[in-house]
Chains A and B, each alone.
Chain A
Amino acid sequence: MIEVKNITKCYGQHKAVDNVSFTVESGEILGFLGPNGAGKSTTMNIITGYLSSSSGTVTVDGCEILDDPKGVKSKIGYLPEIPPLYLDMTVQKYLEFMFDLKKVKLDKEEHIEEVCRLVKISSVTHRLIKNLSKGYKQRVGLAQALLGNPPVLILDEPTVGLDPKQIIEIRNLVKSLGKKHTVILSSHILSEVQAICDRVVIISNGHVVADETTDGLSKKLTKSNRLLVEAEGNKSKIIDVISSVPDVKSVKTESVLSDDVYEFSVEVKEDADIRKKLFFAFAQANIPILGLRSDNITLEEAFLKLTSDTRISSRKAGE
């Protein structure tokens, strides 16, 4: 449905997006993830034709953005980072304007009513946009993107500025939209992407650093299995006890909490649960365990790791 091929965008010397490529299949929800300033918005602006790439091509449903800009633009509903709202208009007038602007060929009143119902703004249609709260403004922006039922939806951080209840509502809405539309959604919140998207593209410093299904990513990134053990006693003796337990790969002193109280990080073989064995081994050696918890790498940490790695490597490349 959408094919992004080797796009690069330079601002003078600075490369905001560097050789980014990915494809989105029809009916898929793609999460576009990255820290602030990673190039998410720039990439989305290029796909929607707001900006032009310095090199590379974007193809949406067989139309290329440079050859047939109108064709591509009429297939895309776009919610930019800052919703493009005319503050001096009422919601109804604004949506009517966007309806005309997009040259939608549906029944005007009926369609606007339907979209308003979908994003739950029916109660504010006669209010001026400048008087709406941030959450409502965001939803009007979303309504605008949905006008004309475009096959592709591009949403740049759609849940920013919403309260927790609204966030869940919008997430559910996007999820349900994914059944009929192809959606690209950007976010810097991992759990959000995990909850909504089928596939994730992580971008950092203008580079794609991961392109995986959501499940695949979490499996891949959380495969190491670690335990944190807090115990009191002689340090070398404790290490011996832990090492004696089967399935333990390595033991490392994590920190010294106080006299004779240490925290160890224990690397364990995949799919092995050694907590019981560890408990009895300690009991036999007469060493008290003060704490025991698993320390799997969370997606958040993995994300940080992925994005900070590229930062370091690109800095090195710069040197």
Chain B
Amino acid sequence: MGAIIKRELYSYFCSPIAYVVMAIFMFFSGLFFTVVCLVNDTSNLTYVFTNMFLITILLTPIMCMKLLSDEKRLKTDQALLTSPVSIFGIVMGKFFSACILNLVCMSIYLIFGFVLSFFVTPNWSVILCNFLGLFILSCTMIAINLFLSSLTESQMIAAITGFATGLFIYLIDNVAKAIPVAFISNIFQKLSFLSHYQDFTVGMLTLANVVFFLSVIALFIFLTIRVIEKKRWS
């Protein structure tokens, strides 16, 4: 697993992908921080993190599109699957490498906290909760996009389905409202990433939300492993 994380990080940082993702992430983070906090004279980061929901959803497909699809296209999966590493190890290696890239992107929030500390004593526990919320949301999106990447040989298709899935997740609250049947509408509302995420942005760390995101991650990691295993048997 360690070898795979190392290789993926090498591949991220030796190609433009990591830099493009970091640039977009940091640009919007900086923009929201400036507009929300500096212009309005507040140390409340809630709106910055709320806005980052959409950016994260749209950025993760770019981070994840080639993780597994390229292996299939270049036939390098043969090297991975014939080496003494379990499929779980391979998938987790890919997953963690994207999570690490995401952490690098998010490191910019340390600077925001540092800047704020010049004006007020920042409420570190709230910022930490915001940070954790955004990180766990990103990890969830990474797991979903990793799964999509395992389904195809084409990076493009992986990215496009990733965007579509992301947009659906973004719009799921509106969909829920539009459904007249209360029972189905309720299910959609329960699945809303945004409502689970919003608790984090106001500094509320609840077990239910953490479990929700962790179970989505586990589900999609499991599905990804099954997709790779299925290829062996079909």
Taking beta carbons and an 8 Å cutoff, which residues of A are in contact with B? Answer: 11, 45, 48-52, 70-71, 73-74, 76, 78, 80, 82, 84-89, 93, 97-98, 100-103, 144
Q: Which residues of B from 182 to 225 have beta carbons under 8 Å from A?
A: none
**Cβ of A88 and Cβ of B85 under 8 Å apart?**
no
A71 to B6, CA, bound (A): 24
Determine, out of B10-18, B104-112, B136-144, B150-158, the stretch whose residues face the partner at the interface: B10-18
Task: Check A86–B84 contact: CB distance below 8 A.
Answer: no
* Assembled-state Cα–Cα distance A100/B2 (Å): 8
Binding site secondary structure of chain B: helix
Q: Which of B4, B77, B84 has the most CB atoms of chain A within a 10 A radius of its CB?
A: B84
Q: Using known A-B contacts A89-B10, A97-B3, A97-B7, determine if residue A84 contacts B232 with beta carbons closer than 8 Å.
A: no
Q: Nearest-CB distance from A180 to chain B (Å)?
A: 20
**Contact A73 to B14, CB < 8 A, known contacts A85-B74, A86-B74, A97-B7:** no
How many angstroms between the C-alpha atoms of A144 and B80 in the bound complex? 12
Interface centre among B10, B78, B233 (most CB of A within 10 A): B78
Interface status of B82 (Cβ within 8 A of chain A): yes
Size of the chain B interface, CB-CB below 8 angstroms: 25
Task: List, in ascending order, chain B residues with CB within 8 A of A86's CB.
Answer: 7, 11, 74, 76
Residue of B nearest to A84 (CB): B79
Residues of B within 8 A of A93 (CB): 10
- Contact check, A78 vs B78: say whether CB atoms are below 8 A apart: yes
With A and B bound together, what is the CA distance between A70 and B79 in angstroms?
13
Given A51-B232, A52-B233; A84-B6 close (CB under 8 Å): no
CA A80 – CA B82 in complex, angstroms?
Answer: 10
Question: How would residues 57 to 84 of chain B score, 1 for a CB under 8 Å from any chain A CB and 0 otherwise?
Answer: 0000000000000000011111111111
Q: Which 7 A-B pairs have the closest CB atoms?
A: A100-B3, A84-B79, A74-B84, A84-B76, A70-B84, A48-B82, A101-B3
Given A70-B84, A88-B11, A102-B84, residue A50 in contact with residue B78 (CB < 8 A): yes
CA distance A103 to B83 in the complex (A): 9
